[in-house]
Amino acid sequence: MESRVVKALNRTWEAIASDWMELCDSDTIKRNEIFEAVVDADRMRTYGGDSEAVEYFYNLKQKAQKKVFNKAFPYKQYIY
């Protein structure tokens, strides 16, 4: 299931990244900012493409969510 969640996280970021980065007016973003963009506003439910994996993820405790999220986004900062 974790591999499906990782794919849903990545799909969500791919769907929103260009708009998000334009709003931030930056070409770099920290992993915790990606977490906020992807997870906190329930964007995974819209863009994740796997409702079962998304619900599994949202039912995890935050520490477990971060662990899975860090598999999808292993670096502390990204350049877009």
Q: Measured between alpha carbons, how far is 9 from 54 in angstroms, rounded to an integer?
A: 8
| Domain count within the chain | 1
Digit-coded pLDDT (tens) for 41-76: 889 999 999 999 999 999 999 999 999 999 999 999
**pLDDT value, residue 16:** 95
Q: Which residues pair with 79 in a beta bridge?
A: 28
| Helix pair 2-24, 51-58: axis angle to 10 deg | 80
pTM of structure: 0.93
Tell me if 68 sits within 8 A of 60, measured CB to CB: yes
Domain residue limits at 52: 2-79
